[in-house]
Structure 1
């Protein structure tokens, strides 16, 4: 009798919880009768009454909901890892609390899992939301596909269904400053992807700020790609070649025109350009060094304040 654990990270989702819990439980009717369910809601240090809403949902649907209450906000990806660590199912799914991803797609995902696929991805073929968020998401996944993981599906994804083996591997890695969904693909298990259209958010306001998006882009690139460091090497070699040619030109000019005044403008352009490159290079190297230090300290990815469950 297979058991499905659905992990839902929550951050300022007080208004979403009643709708999310209702839709998830109602979706059980689409599954074969032998499947049992567990919903692991992870409260990621929310400052509103998300925990109270989760406890109310737990009372409404007894025996189905487990609440993992974290001591502080650690980010959605670490919250997902916390939920995976507390899930007990044979297979797991991760879905957002704002219901922008269709829970009914999990039925098709489950069918692929029964066929032997360890990882099933719901990739965003399109999205109803417009504006900067749409543009940033498209740019982010375009960059990741070309600079880091070439085998990820187009359009990006954060709606996944996977075997317990995948969950155990991700939890055991305890990787920091990374992207948990890309980490699942990086493990190398064959996967199947199901395209869908991401819904527009109807309840609440997204807390996914621009600074968090930029951090995710930097974390994902540095975690899965050597492109930034390789780019430093390539640009350094090009600048070295240009400097060599320019040095030969200056020496030749000195012999041919010994009384020619030095070119102040050209000199300053070269100095400023090289200095700017050096600062950027040091910044990129510093990002790698900081991540190495963060990993060496071995601090926990999250601290669980309490776990609420009903038998």
Structure 2
């Protein structure tokens, strides 16, 4: 039996309800690296699929145990947590992340890798034109604008789930133990040597997209709450504006009381005090919220994922490992 080569590339695939595309995805990835002449491994992370995805993955592993690792999660943790889980099993010098639906063609990997070799730590494969429904395109635009605001992007840099990352960057990302990971944002906290390469984006051939409007809104909310203080600052500004307005209204009613005598007795004082203190509380709460959010980010102990089982080189190991399977 020949010794197993250390892979040059590790491919992480988060899997959710994609039973019909998985075999083709493996074959196409395998063909790409055979043509490139590089050893590779594929880490499929089953994110608690409700179809036969896990059974299909086991069959793929039985046939190709030398270069596949199957990780089965205990419940659905979401795409980003599944990718973080996959990072923990990577041994290649370069890590590729790609979706399971074949909309990102694996045949684009060599071109993205060529771009990476121009001196980048991370390169995102950006579709020239996405074949999505209108609401998803609108959601993508909203996420893109949030990214530019939150991460202070000065150029035309865009994010996608199709990327190649140097292993040392992945190792740094693995140390970040937030229960609400956003892979692209985490990469930017490690390095700013990030580039884009335009790739083809194909129509989805099997099933329906797992991203719906609710998930896009949830992703936007997580971006705002976990990677920025924009909501807190907005509340603070709002409170400050209300304070000014309440002060102006109070002065108007005081003037009317003193010089015209039109305001009901006691009403002026009540309105001014309620308006002023409500606005003041908003300001106080925003400041407290800023401190609390930062403390929670530092002290969060919530698991990013829990592994049920791992299929690795014809061996099956059961595990309840939390956050990092190497702990």
TM superposition score normalised by structure 1: 0.86
User: Please, which of 170, 173, 176 is the counterpart of residue 167 of structure 1?
Assistant: 170
Query: Could you say which residue in structure 1 is the equivalent of 2:16?
Result: 11
Answer yes or no: is 1:124 the counterpart of 2:127: yes
Whole-Å Cα distance in 1 between the matches of residues 76 and 291 of structure 2?
Answer: 23
Q: 1:229 touches 1:284 (CA, 8 Å); kept in 2?
A: yes
Alpha-carbon shift at residue 210 of structure 1 (Å): 2.5
Whole-Å Cα distance in 2 between the matches of residues 226 and 210 of structure 1?
Answer: 24
Structure 1 stretch 153-162 or stretch 227-236: which is displaced more? Answer: 153-162
- In the TM superposition, 1:70-219 aligns within 5 A as 70-151=73-154, 153=156, 155-219=158-222
Query: Could you say which residue in structure 2 is the equivalent of 1:40?
Result: 43
Q: 2:122 touches 2:193 (CA, 8 Å); kept in 1?
A: yes
Whole-Å Cα distance in 1 between the matches of residues 147 and 171 of structure 2?
Answer: 25
Whole-Å Cα distance in 1 between the matches of residues 40 and 61 of structure 2?
Answer: 13
CA distance change for structure 1 residues 186 and 295 in 2, over 3 Å: closer, same or farther? closer
- In the TM superposition, 1:200-279 aligns within 5 A as 200-260=203-263
Query: Could you say which residue in structure 2 is the equivalent of 1:20?
Result: 25
Q: How many residues align?
A: 306
Q: 2:127 touches 2:200 (CA, 8 Å); kept in 1?
A: yes
SS of alignment partner, residue 10 of structure 2: strand
Whole-Å Cα distance in 2 between the matches of residues 211 and 276 of structure 1?
Answer: 32
CA distance change for structure 1 residues 115 and 294 in 2, over 3 Å: closer, same or farther? closer
Q: 1:176 touches 1:295 (CA, 8 Å); kept in 2?
A: no
Alpha-carbon shift at residue 51 of structure 1 (Å): 1.0
Whole-Å Cα distance in 2 between the matches of residues 238 and 13 of structure 1?
Answer: 50
Q: Deviations over 1:43-90 (max 9, x none)?
A: 111122111101112233341211111111111111101100011111
Whole-Å Cα distance in 2 between the matches of residues 112 and 154 of structure 1?
Answer: 14
Whole-Å Cα distance in 2 between the matches of residues 295 and 211 of structure 1?
Answer: 28
Q: Deviations over 1:181-238 (max 9, x none)?
A: 2211222241221123432211112222332221111111222222211111222111
Query: Could you say which residue in structure 2 is the equivalent of 1:302?
Result: 305
CA distance change for structure 1 residues 223 and 207 in 2, over 3 Å: closer, same or farther? same
- Residue segments in structure 2 that go unaligned for 5+ positions in a row: 1-5, 315-327
CA distance change for structure 1 residues 153 and 240 in 2, over 3 Å: closer, same or farther? same
Alpha-carbon shift at residue 288 of structure 1 (Å): 8.5
SS of alignment partner, residue 127 of structure 1: coil
SS of alignment partner, residue 38 of structure 1: strand
Whole-Å Cα distance in 2 between the matches of residues 36 and 188 of structure 1?
Answer: 26
Query: Could you say which residue in structure 1 is the equivalent of 2:62?
Result: 59
Whole-Å Cα distance in 1 between the matches of residues 42 and 166 of structure 2?
Answer: 16
CA distance change for structure 1 residues 53 and 281 in 2, over 3 Å: closer, same or farther? farther
Structure 1 stretch 127-136 or stretch 165-174: which is displaced more? Answer: 127-136
Alpha-carbon shift at residue 279 of structure 1 (Å): 8.4
Q: 2:232 touches 2:286 (CA, 8 Å); kept in 1?
A: no
Whole-Å Cα distance in 1 between the matches of residues 186 and 111 of structure 2?
Answer: 23
CA distance change for structure 1 residues 276 and 96 in 2, over 3 Å: closer, same or farther? farther
CA distance change for structure 1 residues 24 and 277 in 2, over 3 Å: closer, same or farther? farther
